[in-house]
Amino acid sequence: MSKTLLALGTIALLGTIMMVNQPEQLDFASKYQTFKQKYGKAYSQAEDAYRMAVYTQNVLYAESVNLQQGKRVFGETIFFDLTKEEFAETYLTLKITQDDLNVERVPAKNISAADKIDWTQKGAVTKVKDQGQCGSCWTFGTTGVLEGFFFTTTGELPNLSEQQLLDCSTFQDFNLGCNGGLPARALQYVKRSGITTQDAYEYKGVQGSCKIKGGAYHIKGSVALEPTEEALISYLNEGPVSVGVDASNWQYYNPSDEKVFSTCEKSLNHAVLAVGYDKDSFKVKNSWGTAWGDKGFIHLKRGQNTCGIYDTNVVPV
């Protein structure tokens, strides 16, 4: 970003800030320095002024939403130095079309569902990973559901390779590397070729040429779930489920303010992994590292298709 654009952006943001009536004067410079130290942020002198303005605008926006809601629903996160546009460009890259939604879907299983379940406590979920500055959420939504599938069917929890999907599940599957993709299409690659492990094909966070095609872990295919809470609950009783969500407001999710999150729309733009539920919420594993959210997880309110969590769910078979 040029110095001219940075300066113009700073002026525009500071103009917005000055129009907001704050009940008390906040020391934004001090808060910004604390933020940078907490998350290990570092910028050039020119960009630092712009990032402080962005940070300040995000603080003010979060506070304005909290005032409107009458409670603290938004709070500071590791992404408070990004504009909404920058955040979306890097992290909200699920590529889904109407054709992807108009697929044959399976109904809820006829089971007696548990009152609550958490596959992280049952050994079916690998540690929280970090996609970095690559729009590869779709690869993490794919490996996560596969790792859970192999655990529940074989007793083994493999740590599977997102980089292999990034490099190898490309044009044939209509996936676009760091520019986005879809777990349902990546699972077609795994059906054809199999998938290997993280140790064999380490994550780099940039798309490269396909170095290893396939691997020892194979599936017969995958099924899409009907868009209901009953279907998601029933399949979560068998293992983790790859889900698509609208994560536009996850830039502001801080569980110390409100653990169960519901302030979002339903324009699907991010792939994640549902790993459990209780009477209040679905527990969801993200791919933005442990510094975000509830140590890398978010809890989405049940009963209202929060963030579109019912709408594009898939599991391997």
| Active-site amino acid positions | 137, 270, 286
Place of tokens 């934004």: 28
End-to-end Cα distance, the chain? 46
Backbone angles phi, psi at 140, to 5 degrees: -75, -35
Neighbours of 26 (CB within 10 A): 13
How far is C-alpha 132 from the chain's CA centre?
12
**Tokens (6 digits) for 17:** 């800030």
Distance set, CA 118 to CA 106, 271, 303, 312 (Å):
23, 19, 18, 21
Enumerate the H helices of the chain as residue ranges. Answer: 3-18, 28-39, 45-69, 84-91, 98-101, 137-154, 162-168, 183-193, 229-236
Instruction: Give Cβ neighbours of residue 304 (< 8 Å, ≥ 6 apart).
Output: 262
User: Distance between CA atoms of 55 and 49, rounded to whole angstroms?
Assistant: 10
